[in-house]
Structure 1
Amino acid sequence: MVDPISIIGLVGQISDLIQRAYDYGKAVHDAQSDMRKLYTELLGLKGVLEQLEKLDIASAEPHIADLIRSKEFRKTLSSTSELVGRLVENLNKKQTSSRRVNAFLWPWVKDDVKADIQDLERVKTWFIVMMMAENSTQMEVLMIESHEILNIAREGQERGKLKDEEEKRKKISEWIQPFNPKQLHAKAAKKRMRDTGSWFLNGDFKVWMDGGDGSPRILCLRGKSGSGKTTLHAAAVEQLKSYQQEDPKIGQAYFYCSFDDRESQQPLNILGSILHQLSEQHPEALEGIDQLRKSGEVLGENAILKLTSQYVSNFDKFYISVDAINESFSCIEVFEMLLQLVTENSNVRLFVTAISSCSHWLEDLQLEEPPEIIEVDMGTEDVDRDIDFYITTRISEERLLRRLSNETKLELREKVLGNAKGMFRYAQCQLDSLSTLRTAKMVFNALYNLPKDIYEVYEKILLRIPEADRLLARESLFFLSVALRPLTIQELAEAAVLDDYDARIDEECRLPEPMVLLEICQGLVDYDAATSVVTLAHSSVRAYITSSHTDKGDVAWFSYNIPGIHADIANKCLLYLLLENFQDGCCTNEELEKKFEEYPLLRYASRYWPLHARLSDNYGRQEAFAMTFCLSSKKAGGGNFSFWVQCLMPDASREAIMASEPLYYASSFGLAGLVKSLLTSEGVNVDARGGRYRSSALHVACYRGHVEIARQLLECGADINLLDSDGRTALFWAKRLGRRDIVDLLEDPKYAQTKGHTVVTLSDLPEYMDYPSWFCCAYRVNWGYRDDEWHPTPEWVARDFQMTHYGLYEQQVTFSYTYEPSVSGMESARTYEFATTEPNIYTKTGLWNGDWSIGFNDPSDEPGVVEIRTQNN
């Protein structure tokens, strides 16, 4: 291969970039002007370099030879090569199969490309100035005088590199850490009152933190809801940060499982965040994560655990702390995986908080040598000292409470502390309420009617809500109680006013001031002005509303069960998506963005209605709404259904969206009831393709792990051998993802299908691949090769197709490929047909690492490998 640092190598790079710039300009109308400028600069630079090469070869001017061999020239040549490489990468990574998407992405590429064009112009100018020198002496003078030109160009390239690195880190971060715990940590740390929690931080926590090799490495802090575990956890994290600053060989990662954000409860997100934080302290780990990302492997817990163990060894001690581990819907699984990190790495220490003991999880694992664990109970006596300090401090700081007599202050302190029973949340609510009263006398009178516990606090708040506002309050509290991610105040306001009779939603339906919801639900919700996010004030609010305490009496209006409210929210989201505002189906990207702005609940409803429907356990009537929603796909433009699909996949082409059937998405989201209804509906095609990879409903059900839906589809005749656009079957994905129950189902003789071999055509393959170049060999071949092009041998076509499309291992395949005369250089077109005579030929013959020029044998030599039939057209 030609050295890219040589003039010839750089000219080759530029020629490739010229073609790419031309192609990009053709594909993206808005980029044509800038691509012409780039095209012009590249042609000019190419011409200058070619002239320098000619002058050097001619040896007519010795100073040119001196120039080309100078350190400065080689350095400039190298930096120019890097600049051209970055331009190629920029144009490559932004292109997709959709011209519309390319046009949408161009503004993000434009500034980078324009800056690079300016740098190209500077470099070209430098080469020209050097070439025009009459002798070596003049060249040296010009080199000094033009040094500033190169400096500017190099500084621009350095900025480009830094920007590329930052973009790379951002992509890796978003991939490995979908949920960032920093915001929750900041919120929890802010709530802590100084000097509280010292009984723990200077006691058991310090012993665990400073412990030697033989000391217990797992610490569990348990306490009831509202006792202040999260605030104490935040204080512990801050203490570890201080310890970490003293020694670079100390590392830590923390996480918060939040009751009101499902993303924070995902085991994969917890482990991913831990690994990401490790990479921030040990940058080499970032490369390991990037390699995993680029490998194409499905991101799984085992891969993250392996990488974490690999890089955590670079620390003397590495602390992992997870708050509210019990809030994860897979808390035992999370604990087991964290335990694995501890047992496999002697330098790892684990701190978790929970509402109950972690010891029984350890016992359930039945380990031969279970690690020793320290369990600390947030006993009433310890917590009460902190609550007492908190009450005393609040009394001294609140303007009204400071005016109370000493006797009243003492009475307030004793009553609030006595009723709190170790609950910080109770003390906070009471002091917040008392400090809003108008006079000291009113505070004194209120002390004789204090709620006896936190549930009575919430009952009084609910009963104070005016009759006219109760519906808004109930709808808001219900939505916040089971929301799958935090809601903005605008989203909540939109959801609170929506009812079954709305065909459209406009300003007449909406609240003039969404913030009024905070006033109505005061004491039960929290609002973050920086993010506009509104949440329940505490997990105990949800615990109260879903408890038996709200079953009877005046507060029964606010009572509900969790599956029931999931069903109501699924209905509400479906009703929103069925509004006339979205009935026209697919729209342009600009129109879609405008709709997201005009209809605040649209993003949430689009993403989460299927999840709420699954969590409802078929409670309620969302299936009827869902069928109405699915049937809208038959309308012109795809109706509300196709609009929803576009919301899910804004980058997909209109054709891909319109081709996706409701059965595909119902199977993907695990909506068993809806799948059953769709399978019995008129005209359903059980093998209809959908999604980005033209998969069938069976493909996606197996990929997502929905075994019962897969069974339903097979009962209705779904084709097991069908290939997605990557050439993979449903069985491939089941095996790849370790879904043993689905593998057993697909291999059940009851569902065996004898349909002969599968015929693969180019239409089955991804539309963005460039044929026939996709099949091009990475090595020289003897057939079809010309000086300026690479072409594959027939053997390579079959090998590459089958090696890339792993699903072909599981069945017989016939593949036909025709070389046209204009492509192959042959006198007439020729068709090659390759047929595997039995499944799994590669695993049986071991051709994976073979010599591809002889890797495909004639059937007479080795039966059952590849049969090649050639015919002239």
Structure 2
Amino acid sequence: MAPALGNDEYTVGWITALALEAAAAEAVLDIEHEEPQWQHENDFNSYTLGSIGKHNVVIVSLPERYGPISAAMAVSQMLSTFKSIRIGLMVGIGGGIPNLEGGHDIRLGDVVVSRPDNTFGGVKQYDFGKRTAGGLFQPQGFLNSPPRILLNAVNKLKRMHLRRPSDVPNILREIEKSNPLMVEPKQGPSYLHQGPENDHLFQPTYKHKEGAKTCEECDKEQEIERPPRNDQDPFIHYGTIASGNQVIKDAETRDRLGKDCLCFEMEAAGLMNDFPCLVIRGICDYADSHKNKRWQNYAAVTAAAYAKELLQVTPVQGLKELPMAAGVMRKLQTIDENITKLTERVEAQHNQELLDWLSPLELSKRHYEIRSSRLPKSGMWILQHDSFLKWSSDSPASRALCCYGDPGAGKTFIASLVIDTLNESKDAEPNIGLAYVYCDYRDQIQQTTKNIIGAIIKQLLMQLPTTPEEITAIWQKHQKDKIPLELVEVNEALRITCKSFNRTYICLDALDECQSFQELLTFLQQAPSSIHLFSTGRNLVEPFFRKKFEHAYTIRIKAKDSDIQMLIQKYINEDREKDPDIMDKRLEQDVMTKISALSKGIFLLPVLQIRTVLDERSIRDREEALNTLPPNLEEAFGITIERIQRQPQAWAQQATKILIWINLAERPLSIDELLEACAIREDDHNLDTRGFPSRGTFLDCCLGLAVIEKETSTVRLVHFTLQEYFKTKDQILAQKIQEGHDAIARACLTYLMFRSVTTNTSPQALLDSNRSEAETRTPSYFLLDYAACQWGHHVRKSSCLQRSTIDATLKYLHMDLQGRMRSHSLLCRNLNIAHQDVRSFSIVHISAYFGIHQILLELLETDQVDIDSKDN
């Protein structure tokens, strides 16, 4: 052993996480040096010093509780002692992510080297990101690239290996000669190759036999067949490495989190942004349930051997000219702060996953949308009402208050006002919880009792500094067992959450728009006594509410004349700004008096009436319209529809198409989805962006019956009562409801058979298209997800299927699966069908799932399907 050099002579920091990795690193040193001459008083690391070629190396092993935080701490301390270190090598073991179809035939003992691509800097932090509107986790942990001098050395090695074999096998043989205990250890596996017969890769869905230490008892039929290699020398793979804070032991999780990566590891995420380093990993397992420690020693030494070969081609002089890593890593002088931030980020990610799991309902945007359209100072009377004051007092006789009224009376605006008032009162009275839900007739599928209560719990948890341990335990159990949340557990979670507050306010708007509102009230009747319930709904809700809450407070909601006059004045002012010549003082007064008198305590009727008047283009025509105003909502809807149909034919047809799509859609449609729907013609072979109506004015033809929710960028009918009106009439403008479903079904099927949709590009490539493409008239395929997942529901709901719709359905189903794969995969994802089962979800299964009996019968009559086919 040679004497230690001065600390300033060491320029390479070699980081390992485990003792077996440190042993492998020490084994590849050309010369090992004695202990450091000096160590900083705050440096508690243990070091091995030595040299490889002309490079002097510091090997540091992390504390036992390894991960990104301890890696950052260890490196910070190392740089306080060895200030001349220029670069770092993170060398050790990792869990492989084999992808034979993607060309990554990774085997145990192979080496993975981090290399930047167009997306990541060589390492991706997979457990830090956000959830998308569709529920998918999108990693956002972009980490810096390795230093250029190391990337150049990596590229040089790659070029050399194209001409001659890697020197790694020779380095391994030298280790065997000089380290006999690594060849024949007293216990545990050796540092030699463990034999291809002990390298097993199983199907992702096949779990390891519980309790078994090896894979001898595992089903060999489930093993993935891979071509034999000519020798046992390790392959070198270059690409992205996934780094995070958890050990991956599940193949399906591996494939989901490690998409486009080659292996998993646990230290790099703590260093890559601040420490100039390269990550090198030997593959010791496949990050699945079959993982064991047999290959760890060999994987550690293959990674170390590659690191040695890399240093042999890294120029010494070029290294000395680099800035010192301690300077680059100046931010780590405040390591405690950085560790806190990293911990908070990991906890925030876990909390977000828990919150998303509780309920898919997103409610804040809906509240902001309603609040922004509420007239200032309107509805203030509710806050002075005797029943409201008693209910919101410290000791009310009842903890429940029901506000009920006719359709269009302004109940939702009242709810938003109450929510804002209660939210403001929280500032004066600490430890008060507040949660709210706006029920929506458009979202019946997700609007279950479980999801509504889950959304309430979600909001309450967001008001707490930390999530109660009992809630986290429930979540972790379900994550582990992969079972859905039951209503009884939701009840327990609500009880646990409410314990953190002295009082909890729950506000439910439009209960009548929730099909399960009676079940919901029964659930809340049994909720903790600290909950104060506020609800709104139509008149039919009130008797059910009284039945569940015997002494409940009730308030009948009617629009006040003063509030209606404020609303009318708002419309008049907006109109006068656009055209001051067709509204004089006398007409303004007549409009105010007449419409107020006809309002009957509801807001919706004056809205339709004032639109009818203001759409006329002269004072005389406006006076005539004022004298023939519809006296009730039904007639107001009827007159508005007549006005739509009197428009130029193109406008009337566009209004019909828009109202049909909005009214009959299975879920709320975004603006972009609706624009694409408007552009579809049945003889189209591709999405023609020239058919898009103007984004800014395309709803004008609906004369106020369709509106945009700005916060959510979705389009809806002006009110739930309009949907009921269409349902009662059984038609939308001149088209029957059944015909509307038929038309939507044909449009969806036409869309799914567009040439650009049936090509081999991945579905996500379409869905992730930049929104700005829409502005440049490049197809972005926003409607693809809706068409793929909902077409069959419209076929089923059309009781008068046209032959053209049947033919389009059969044509789509009989397409080659490769052509349908894009839309087929989206449907399977929506149904939570595992990736490996997608191909076995046949057209018979699809027809049965949608309940389209007529199509199923026609399929069976063709003898082109197997009625006995099974999925997985």
With normalisation by structure 2, the TM-score equals 0.60
- Paired letter, 2:92: I
Q: How far is the alpha carbon of 1:237 from its aligned partner?
A: 0.8
Contact preservation (8 Å) 2:437, 2:509:
yes
What is the rounded CA distance, in whole Å, between the counterparts of 2:600 and 2:568 in structure 1?
A: 14
Q: 1:231 deviation in Å?
A: 0.8
Task: Map 1:63-102 onto structure 2 (within 5 A).
Answer: 87-89=243-245, 92=248, 96=252, 102=258
> Which residue of structure 2 aligns with residue 309 of structure 1?
495
1:659 paired with 2:733, answer no
CA deviations 1:695-717 (Å, max 9, x no partner) are: xxxxxxxxxxxxxxxxxxxxxxx
Equivalent residue in structure 2 for 1:572, among 744, 747, 752 = 747
Which amino acid is 2:500 matched to? N
Does the 8 Å contact 2:406/2:538 carry over to 1? yes
Between 676-685 and 456-465, the greater mean CA deviation after superposition: 676-685
Give CA deviations for 1:780-834 in whole Å, capped at 9, x if unaligned.
xxxxxxxxxxxxxxxxxxxxxxxxxxxxxxxxxxxxxxxxxxxxxxxxxxxxxxx
Letter in 2 for 1:18: G
Contact 1:119 1:153 (C-alpha < 8 Å) held by counterparts = no
Secondary structure, counterpart of 2:430 in structure 1: coil
CA gap 1:31/1:422 in 2 versus in 1, 3 angstroms = farther
Query: Which residue number in structure 2 is paired with residue 424 of structure 1?
Result: 603
Equivalent residue number for residue 116 of structure 1: 271
Cα drift, residue 374 of structure 1: 2.6
Evaluate the alpha carbon distance shift between residue 653 and residue 174 of structure 1 in structure 2; reply closer, same or farther with a 3 A threshold.
Answer: closer
* 2:820 aligned with 1:640: yes
Distance change (3 Å), C-alpha of 1:312 and 1:505: same
Note the C-alpha offset of 1:103: 4.2
Report if aligned partners of 1:122, 1:150 keep a CA contact under 8 Å in 2.
no
Conserved in 2, the CA contact under 8 Å of 1:638 and 1:658?
no
Q: Where does structure 2 lack aligned partners over 5 or more consecutive residues? A: 1-17, 21-43, 47-60, 72-89, 107-111, 117-121, 124-144, 152-241, 280-325, 772-778
| Aligned partner letter, 1:485 | R
User: 1:31 & 1:689 partners in 2: Cα distance?
Assistant: 42
Task: Please report how far the alpha carbon of residue 350 of structure 1 lies from its aligned counterpart in structure 2 after TM superposition.
Answer: 1.3
Aligned counterpart, 1:468:
650
Q: Aligned equivalents of 2:868 and 2:66: distance in 1?
A: 46
Q: 2:464 aligns with which of 278, 282, 303?
A: 282
> What's 2:708 paired with?
527
Counterparts of 1:580-729 in structure 2 under 5 Å?
A: 580-584=755-759, 587=762, 590=765, 593=768, 598-613=780-795, 625-632=808-815, 635=816, 637-640=817-820, 643-646=823-826, 648-649=828-829, 656-669=837-850, 682=863, 684=865, 688-690=869-871, 694=872
Structure 1 position 453, deviation (Å): 3.1
Which of the residues 523, 527, 538 maps onto 1:355?
A: 538
- Determine if contact 2:741/2:798 at 8 Å carries over to the other structure: yes
Question: Residue 642 of structure 1 contacts residue 657 of structure 1 at CA under 8 Å; is this kept in 2?
Answer: no
TM score, norm. by length of structure 1: 0.60
* Residue 277 of structure 1: how far off its partner (Å): 0.7
Distance 1:260 1:164, change over 3 A: same
In structure 2, C-alpha distance between the alignment counterparts of 1:92 and 1:113, rounded to whole Å: 15
Once residues 268 and 19 of structure 2 are traced to their aligned partners in structure 1, the CA distance between those partners, rounded to angstroms, is: 25
**Which string of whole-angstrom CA distances, capped at 9 and with x for unpartnered residues, describes residues 195-224 of structure 1?**
322332210552353245561222222222
SS in 1 for 2:272: helix
- Cα distance in 1 for partners of 2:272, 2:770 equals 36
Q: Counterpart of 1:203 in structure 2: which amino acid?
A: H
Whether contact under 8 Å (1:278, 1:285) holds in the other structure is: no
1:541 to partner: Cα distance:
2.9
Give the equivalent residue in structure 2 for 1:451: 630
- 1:203 corresponds to which of 385, 388, 400: 385
Quote how far apart the aligned CAs of 1:518 are.
1.6
- Tell me if the contact between 2:795 and 2:852 (Cα under 8 Å) persists in the aligned partners: yes
Q: How far apart, CA to CA, are the structure 2 residues paired with 1:515 and 1:406?
A: 32
The number of aligned residues is 609
- Shift of the 626–106 alpha-carbon distance from structure 1 to 2, 3 Å rule, reads farther
- Equivalent residue, structure 2, for 1:837: none
Flag the structure with more relative contact order, 1 or 2, with Cα contacts below 8 A and sequence separation at least 6: 2
Residues 537, 93 of structure 1: alpha-carbon distance in 2 compared, 3 angstrom cutoff: farther
CA-CA distance at 1:339 after TM superposition: 2.6
Give the letter aligned to residue 318 of structure 1.
T
What is the CA distance between 1:111 and its match in structure 2?
A: 14
Q: Secondary structure at the match of 1:295?
A: helix
Counterparts in 2 of 1:106 and 1:113: CA distance versus 1, 3 Å: farther
How far apart are the structure 1 equivalents of 2:328 and 2:644? 77
Q: Match of 1:306, as an amino acid?
A: E
What does 1:211-290 align with in structure 2 at a 5 Å threshold? Answer: 211=393, 213=395, 215-262=397-444, 265-285=447-467, 287-290=469-472
Amino acid at match of 1:501: D
Q: Which structure 2 residues correspond to residues 494-509 of structure 1 after superposition, within 5 A?
A: 494-507=676-689
- Which of 387, 391, 395 aligns to 2:564? It is 387
CA distance in 1, matches of 2:617, 2:572: 15
Quickly say closer, same or farther: Cα 1:674–1:427, change in 2 above 3 A: same
- The 8 Å contact of residues 468 and 497 in structure 2, kept in 1 or not, is answered as no
Residues 1:560 and 2:736 aligned together: yes
1:220 to 1:610, Cα distance in 2 relative to 1, 3 A: farther
State the distance in 2 between where 1:37 and 1:145 align.
Answer: 16
Q: Aligned pair in 2 of structure 1 residues 588, 285: CA closer, same or farther (>3 Å)?
A: closer
CA, structure 1 residues 407+148, in 2 after alignment: closer, same or farther (shift >3 Å)?
Answer: closer
**1:675 deviation in Å?**
5.6
Could you tell me whether the CA contact under 8 Å between 1:179 and 1:263 is conserved in 2?
A: no
Three-state SS of the structure 1 residue aligned to 2:63 is: helix
| Inter-partner Cα distance in structure 2 for 1:539 and 1:588 | 34
**Aligned pair in 2 of structure 1 residues 615, 267: CA closer, same or farther (>3 Å)?**
farther
- Relative to structure 1, the CA distance from residue 222 to residue 645 in structure 2 (aligned partners, 3 Å threshold; closer, same or farther) is same
Q: In structure 1, the residue corresponding to 2:667 is in which secondary structure?
A: coil
Q: Deviations over 1:15-40 (max 9, x none)?
A: 998221676896799954636969x9
In structure 2, the partner of 1:75 is none
Q: Tell me how far apart the structure 2 counterparts of residues 559 and 667 of structure 1 sit (CA, whole Å).
A: 28
Going from structure 1 to structure 2, the CA distance change for 1:668 and 1:588 (only over 3 Å counts) comes to: closer
Partner of 1:18: 92
Aligned partner of residue 197 in structure 1, secondary structure: coil
Per the alignment, do residues 668 and 543 of structure 1 end up closer, same or farther by CA in structure 2, a change over 3 Å counting? Answer: closer
Once the two structures are superposed, what CA deviation does each residue of 1:169-206 show, in whole Å capped at 9, x if it has no partner? 32223222312111111121122223322332210552
Code of the residue aligned with 2:420 in structure 1: it is E
Work out whether 1:378 is the aligned partner of 2:452: no
Q: 2:442 touches 2:666 (CA, 8 Å); kept in 1?
A: yes
2:419–2:507: 8 Å Cα contact kept in structure 1? Answer: yes
The correspondence of residues 687-836 of structure 1 with structure 2, limited to 5 A, is 688-690=869-871, 694=872
Structure 2: how far apart are the matches of 1:673 and 1:31? Answer: 55
Match of 1:333 among 475, 495, 519: 519
Can you give the 5+ residue segments of structure 1 that lack an aligned partner in the other structure?
42-85, 125-143, 695-873
More helix per residue: 1
Give the distance between the partners of 1:11 and 1:528, measured in 2 at CA. Answer: 53
Relative to structure 1, the CA distance from residue 239 to residue 362 in structure 2 (aligned partners, 3 Å threshold; closer, same or farther) is closer
- Indicate yes or no: 2:689 matched with 1:511: no
